[in-house]
Structures are given as C-alpha cells and as structure tokens.
Amino acid sequence: GSGYVERLVEGLNPQQRKAVEHRGGPLLIVAGAGSGKTSVLTRRIAYLLAAGGAHPGQILAITFTNKAAAEMRERVADLVGPEASRMWVATFHSICVRILRAQYELVPGRNSNFSIYDGDDARRLLGIIAKEQGLDVKKYTPRYLANSISNHKNELVSPERAMDIAMEDGDRNAQTIAAVYIEYAARLRSANAFDFDDLIGETVDLLRNNPPVAEYYRRRFRHVMVDEYQDTNHAQYVLVRTIVGGGASEQGKEEPEFSVPPSELCVVGDADQSIYAFRGATIRNIEDFEQDFPNAETILLEQNYRSTQTILSAANAVISRNEGRRPKNLWTASDEGSAITAYVADNEHDEARFVAGEVDRLVDSGDLNYSDIAVFYRTNNSSRVLEDIFIRLGIPYKVVGGLRFYERKEVRDAVAYLRILLNPEDTVSLRRIINTPRRGIGDKAEQAVVAHADVRQIGFGSALRDAAEGKVSGLGPRAVKSIAAFVEMTDGLRGRLEGDGHAAGEGSLPDIGDLLDAVLDASGYRDALQGSNDPQDGTRLDNLEELVGVAREFSSEAALRRSADEVPGESGGEDALDAELDEGLAVPGSLEAFLERVSLVADADEIPEDDAGEVTLMTLHTAKGLEFPAVFLVGWEDGLFPHMRALGDPAELAEERRLAYVGITRARQRLYISRAMLRSTYGQPMTNPPSRFFGEIPDSVVEWEREEPQRSSFIDSDYSAPRRFGQDSGGFGGIGAAGAGGSRFGGGSSRGIPKAAPKKPALELELGDRVNHDKYGLGKVVAVEGSGTTARARIDFGDYGTVQLMLIGGVPMTKL
C-alpha cells in the first residue's frame, strides 16, 4: 500500500527524495562524498519497482566493482524482496560480457567461448608482438604499449583509425604503436579473445552496427543507473548513451531513428572523487551531461551523513586546494567527533606498530570490531610491513588487491589450462603452458609452430595439431612426439568436459574442482612441484590446492542453486536456463562461468563475503565508495603520496589530492594519518618529506600522538615503549604542541636522518652473531647488508620473527 511506498522515501532529505521520485528525462546527481548518492540509487530502484510500475527485468544498474553490485542488489532485495534478482546490477565489464555472449553471432570473428584477457595476458601478447616486430623493447615495453593501446580503445579509436591519425600527423612513435595495435587486434581475434577494454568497445560496436539489437536492450532496460559516473571513460559513456538512446548526436555520426523512446537515465557522481584519469576516465562526462542529454536535470546533495564534522573539515580543506573545481557546500549535522590522530613514525615498521597498537586499542575498548577498521595506502607494496606486524600480533586482516591470488603464476597457469579446454585456439594461454611444466617443447619448436600457423593462416591450436601429425617442417622427432603427447593430453581432458554433457548444457556438469584436479595430474604440473626442492614450490602447490578448493566450492554452490531452481511447482528449470542463456549468462556451474568469474575479479572483489571481523587493508583507489568507522591513512610522504610521478605535474597532483579526499571521506568516526621519516624502498632506506596534503589539514582538527623530533636522536625513540595519547603526547623530544604555528608538517627543518650524534657506537655484526635486543630478546644474525650509515642486519628473533635493523649507534642491542 501507500504506507509501504512512503517507507521507501522515509528519512530522505528533500533533494534525495526528489532524486528518488524523479521520472522522465535524464537525471544527474552531483554531490560530495557520503551525501547518499549510492543510497539514492538503491532507493530509486526500490521505489521504481514498488511505486513506478517497473519490473526488475527493466532495471540496469552499473557499479564500479562487483562488490558494490552485490551490495546494491542485496539492499534492494531487503527493500522489495527476492524478485529483485532479475535486475541487472553489475559492472560495465560484466554487463558487456553478458551482452557479447548473448549476441556473439553478431560479433565478427569470435564465438561464444571467447576468452577474456586481463592486463597480464595483454602485456604478454604485446611483448611477443614487439619482439616479432623487432622493436626496441626498452622503449616499447609491454606496459607502455598496453597503455597506449588502452587509451585508443577507451576513446573508441580503431586500429586502422589510429594508423590514419598517426600518418596524418607524421608521428613515427604513434605509427609504431598503431602498427602494434593492428597486429594485436588481429591476434586477439585469431585467439578468440577479448581484452578488458574490448569488452566495452566491442559491445559499443555491436550495438551501433546492429540498431535492432540496441533497440532490443533499450526496450528491455527502461531504467538505467550509473554509480561513480565521474570515473567513466569515453567508451563507457558511449555505451550508456547507446543503450539509453536519445542523446545529442555525436559529431559526424547519424543517430538512427528508433521506435523505442529513450530509457530513463540516472547517473550519480562527484568530480572531486575522479581518480581514474589514468584509465581514461574523464569528468567531462559529468560536466557535459546537460549538453550530452537534452532535457537533463541536475540535483545537488549537500548533506553528508557519513562523517563527523572534524573529518569533513579536513576533507573540505584538502580538496579546496584544487583549482578549477566547482566549490561545494558539504555539511553534516553530526557532532564534531574526535580529533584526527596524526603520527610521525621513525620508519615504516614503527608506523605499522603504531597502526597495530591503535587497532588493538580500538577493539579492546569494545567500541569497534576489526571489520570496522581499514588501512589505506597509496601503493600495493605498502601492505607487507603491515601484514608482518599484524601476523605477529595476531590481528586478523585481509588484503584487498596487491599480490592477488589470481595473479600468482601457478594460479594463472592452471587457469590457462582450463581456458584452452574451452577455447582450443586461445594462443596466449596455449603458449603460456605448452612447456609448463617442461615437456621438451622448446622455443625453437614453438617458433616452428608459430611460423606454420602464419603460413597456413590458421590458429596456433590448429597448428599444434598439424605438428602432432608431423605436418610442420623444422620439428625434430622428439618435439613432434612431445607435441603429440600434449595434444592428446588436452584432448583427453576436453573429452572429460564434453562427455559430461557440458557443451550441450544438459545433464550434470562436471565438478570444476575435479576437472582442475585432473588437469594438474595429467599435465604433470603437480608432480613437477612435488618433485622440486625449491621451497617456493611448496607454496605454489598450496595455492593450487586452494584453487581446486575454490573451484569445488563454485561447483557445489551452482549445484545448490540449480536444485533450488528445480523445486516442484516452480516453472521448469530448463526454461530458466534457456532464459539465462538468452541473456548471455554462462550456465551456472559451467567452466565458462568459472573462468568468467576468475577473469573478472576486480581489485575490490577479493574481500571474502564472510568477513567475520578482519581489518581491511587496501589501496586508496580500491577504497572508493566504501565507508568504515575507523580509517588509517598511512605513508603520507611526498614521493609516496602524492606519488613520485605526480610531484612535477599539476594535473597529476590534483588527481592525487582527489585521492586524499577519497581517503579522508571513507572515515565515519575516527581518522588516523601517519607518515614515516625513514622508509625502505627496494631495500634502500629513504628519507621522505611529509606529504604536502598533511599540511593542508587545519591544525585545529589534528591531535598529535607523536610529532617529528626536531633535534634528538630518532634512534632512541624507535625503541621506546609505544606512546599512547594522553600519556606523554606532546612530551616527545621536548617539543610540545605549542611549538610551531601554521602547519607543523611543512616546517621540516629536521626531516631526514637526524644529525645528532649517536650515543653509542654502531654495532658491527657478522653473519651468525648472537645478539640480545632490549625489546625483541635473543636473536641470531641471518644477513648483513650495506655499510656505514646504511649498514643493516636481518636478525632472527625466534618467536618475534625476523627483523631488519639499521646498524647505527643507539640501537638497544648488545652482541653476545
């Protein structure tokens, strides 16, 4: 009844309510962090379903990560019930995969079993091409080529067009890139593969080249919603526009006439949180929304519901330093809250200890769980030090992104095996594992097969078959035998897949875990690792077993889902299956579905859903859209954050500042910001000046747990007991908070290694020496590196773990 509908807009402020109830023309909601943009989208969906006469199948909501999609789906389901499951709530990439799979017949040169190449696959292929084309691989690195090509794809520039432009401009470098791009596109096609960017670009092409298909999706998706619109790139923008229809016509392109009126579009974003320019995202999409979509309306939200006044003041102060932005008036009705805690650590270990100590304190106080706490850093490699201390102190944590499970070599190898079972022409995957583990198919043999494929104009997989039959010249009998064995092995595995009715989508699907198990055995992969005496191979084996576990779980979940779908009385499971197939969904539990999931795990998706209480560690980039009661921002040092490469570039610096804004605004109640004076980068200790963003936060909202010592030796402080706020804050090194006016970060008279004379002479240690450390206890030297002021030793302190210490005077440690 209307009471129910009324409940859906309950508690919203007038602008939010207006956005939820808005019907008709395109709607843009621009607003600062934590003002309820995502919440409004969610409520809007629920409202459309409950009061707007919309069916779940008519909803298309696009989020930035799969995790965000899952959350949104869940919240809508909470509001309107389980029928919500027929909505499409997904990332751009997932949506495009679904469309491409459903419409593969219209995609030239691909079939429905296409592989999805992620960044690493793409770079591998580009490395191969660069070598073949005789390029200077120091200049044309795979990464550089990948970025250049990605930029083209994000702008929807085809390989041929890229070449035309490069020729017109007479730009040799651009011509080289375009030549690689042309070859790369051809290789992807012959491998029946798409890279991440293609998923978007090919879908755009598909819809543009097939107006009835575009019309079909427009008819279907009457309501389109996009979260984090500031981070869409041009290709994504065109995709949205093509689905919705009714956009202003693009230069030089005729917008065809359709019988279906434009869908209702609602996008939300915040230009101050645009942090993906390096992936081609452009806030132009927000700025030009009103031109792009005639009759568009814009709603501003100004009340922040997430953070305390203190946190908001800090965020506003920092972002206001960016030039050329639209000023915002973000306010909150909530209390001032606690001051922001700032901490200057001696080095990264000290910083990690500080974080760990505060985490313990927050949890011990009973106010927060571990899962309420997050630590954000600028670059992935900052996680390790934190992990070390968390492990030592028994603090449960999870790392999002970073050394991601699915990026490990052995995991990728195993996935490559699975891919070739499904897609026998998947060149990159084939070449990845053809001699892994070693089976006597060397580089030369591989090249002979490549040459054969080239001459015959066939795929690498077909060429391998020819090789197995002795039809490839330049192959010795041993290579032929090995290749024949390889082909036979993969055929056998493939038979397993098909024999179970997999391809037909009928009967029982093979358990992917069992399949993977068989792959590891048949390929000799498991044996090779088991027989190795490299300790790392043990870890690799563990990872593979974990992957088998992941696959098993995947299959049994799917089986459960299927049996739930087949409950008597419900419409036949077959129909449901057909419907899903029509929609481009891989058969649940199938190998396609598994590989799709593996390929599409975006950074933020590594969070296991059962977070029973773990601290979350992640980069600032992955933190977008999330919120936590307590947030630690670590490594606020110029050169680290802002990133080194941004220091001399105002545009990049502005982007880093937006990243700072994103970081600060993730916090609800407590915010901690820290930096280290000395930090090891690639094994070398570096002294880093404070981040300039630190100085942009008003002193009035900061409380110092520990400031930079001005004169005394930082060496002593390294080993003093952890300082707690309230105990001796301000007392450190004799400089009280009353000291410097203005920013206490920027002063920096004594940044770097203090010049004060050490109180004790430096310890001279050798491998095998025994030591006694005041804090860590008895230890044994396991490595010594450097000399003079950079001398350092790794010392195994038993239960405490192995610790690296600078061998400078003042270390509270004696040689035994």
- Contact segment (CB under 6 A) with ligand ATP among 7-15, 184-192, 669-677, 727-735 equals 7-15
37 binds ligand ATP (CB under 6 A): yes
249: left (phi over 0), alpha (psi -120 to 50) or beta: beta
Among 15, 38, 203, 599, binds Mg ion (CB under 5 A): 38
Is the Cβ of residue 627 or residue 796 nearer to ligand ATP in the bound state?
627
11 binds ligand ATP (CB under 6 A): yes
State which of positions 39-68 bind ligand ATP (CB under 6 A).
Answer: 39
Name the minimum Å distance from CB 302 to Mg ion. 15
Quick one: what does residue 150 bind among Mg ion, ligand ATP, none, with the CB cut-off 5 to 8 Å set by partner type? none
| Encoded tokens for 488 | 């036979």
Cα separation values, 526 from 207, 409, 413, 415, 492, Å: 45, 14, 12, 14, 17
Cα separation values, 149 from 152, 154, 160, 694, Å: 5, 9, 12, 36
Other beta carbons less than 10 A from residue 768's beta carbon: 9
Quick one: what does residue 317 bind among ligand ATP, Mg ion, none, with the CB cut-off 5 to 8 Å set by partner type? none
35 binds ligand ATP (CB under 6 A): yes
- Contact segment (CB under 6 A) with ligand ATP among 5-13, 547-555, 560-568, 796-804 equals 5-13
Name the minimum Å distance from CB 268 to Mg ion. 7
Name the minimum Å distance from CB 50 to ligand ATP. 18
Among 104, 144, 258, 305, binds ligand ATP (CB under 6 A): 305
Is the Cβ of residue 33 or residue 577 nearer to ligand ATP in the bound state?
33
Q: How many residues bind Mg ion (CB under 5 A)?
A: 3
- Contact segment (CB under 6 A) with ligand ATP among 30-38, 148-156, 242-250, 256-264 equals 30-38
Residues that constitute the known binding site for ATP: 31-38
Name the minimum Å distance from CB 413 to Mg ion. 37
474 binds ligand ATP (CB under 6 A): no
Residues with a known catalytic role: 37-38, 227-228, 273, 666
| Encoded tokens for 234 | 């041009």
What is the rounded CA–CA span in Å between residue 241 and residue 249?
A: 10
Among 306, 526, 670, 744, binds ligand ATP (CB under 6 A): 306
Cα separation values, 498 from 136, 192, 505, 508, 596, Å: 44, 19, 10, 11, 18
Other beta carbons less than 10 A from residue 517's beta carbon: 17
Contact 418, 523 (CB under 8 A): no
State which of positions 617-646 bind ligand ATP (CB under 6 A).
Answer: 625, 627
Among 33, 541, 667, 702, binds ligand ATP (CB under 6 A): 33
What is the rounded CA–CA span in Å between residue 656 and residue 722?
A: 31
- Contact segment (CB under 6 A) with ligand ATP among 33-41, 99-107, 450-458, 536-544 equals 33-41
Is the Cβ of residue 43 or residue 679 nearer to Mg ion in the bound state?
43
What is the rounded CA–CA span in Å between residue 348 and residue 675?
A: 8
Cα separation values, 699 from 317, 339, 346, 506, 631, Å: 11, 10, 21, 67, 19
Interaction pattern, residues 263-282, with ligand ATP; x per rule: CB under 6 A: -------x--x---------
Hey, which residues does 792 pair with through a beta bridge? 785, 806
Other beta carbons less than 10 A from residue 408's beta carbon: 17
Name the minimum Å distance from CB 154 to Mg ion. 23
13 binds ligand ATP (CB under 6 A): yes
Is the Cβ of residue 38 or residue 230 nearer to Mg ion in the bound state?
38
User: What are the DSSP E strand ranges found in 306-372?
Assistant: 340-347
Distance between the two ends of the chain, CA-based, in angstroms?
A: 81
Is the Cβ of residue 625 or residue 642 nearer to Mg ion in the bound state?
625
- Contact segment (CB under 5 A) with Mg ion among 356-364, 610-618, 624-632, 762-770 equals 624-632
26 binds ligand ATP (CB under 6 A): no
625 binds Mg ion (CB under 5 A): yes
Name the minimum Å distance from CB 601 to ligand ATP. 21
Name the minimum Å distance from CB 614 to Mg ion. 22
Cα separation values, 94 from 66, 100, 200, 307, Å: 8, 10, 10, 32
Cα separation values, 241 from 28, 294, 653, Å: 14, 12, 31
- In order, the DSSP letters of 54-82 are --GGGEEEEESSHHHHHHHHHHHHHHH-G
307 binds ligand ATP (CB under 6 A): no
Q: Helix, strand, or coil here: 713?
A: coil
Quick one: what does residue 274 bind among ligand ATP, Mg ion, none, with the CB cut-off 5 to 8 Å set by partner type? none
At 89, which helix (H) or strand (E)?
strand 88-91
Residues interacting with Mg ion, by CB under 5 A?
A: 37-38, 625
Residues interacting with ligand ATP, by CB under 6 A?
A: 11-13, 16, 31, 33-39, 270, 273, 305-306, 625, 627, 665
